[in-house]
Amino acid sequence: MISRIDHIGIVCRDLDDTVEFYRATHGFELCHVEVIDSQGVREAMLKVGATDDGAASYIQLLEPVRDDSAVSAWLAENGPGVHHIAFGTDDVEAESERLKARGIRPIFDPPGTGSRGTRVTFLHPRDCHGVLTELVTLP
């Protein structure tokens, strides 16, 4: 079951410059930077705020580190901007199976490891009204 919006993924050309924009403009807290080799990106997670249950929402900034990555291709075609929305779930595997039964195709099947040790999968945008959707289970 989906319980919250975990993050909004935004593709950028210069991660450091974009992090500084969000910190200076909105006061978001930089809490994590990581290179995800398997996806060919460097990411920064910026904390937006906490919810009543103690969970936080984030802005995830993504900078491609390889020309052959999906994010690099997306950036070349679309320019910087919103890339995906991620929903939190207690069990990404079960949620992925539930959605597959409804005809929604997961891109990572089975789900894989994301940044910060999370379990993740993406749902095909053609099955989600044009929106690339990520499912995230925290470690």
Give the catalytic positions in this structure: 7, 43, 60, 84, 134
What is the chain's alpha carbon radius of gyration, rounded to the nearest angstrom? 15
Q: Retrieve residue 120's tokens.
A: 């993740």
φ/ψ of residue 19, rounded to 5: -60, -50
3-state secondary structure of 20: helix
Distance CA 17, CA 106 (A): 32
Fill in the DSSP letter of residue 17. H
Sheet with 29-36: strands ordered across = 29-36, 41-50, 56-64, 2-11, 81-89, 133-137, 119-123, 112-113
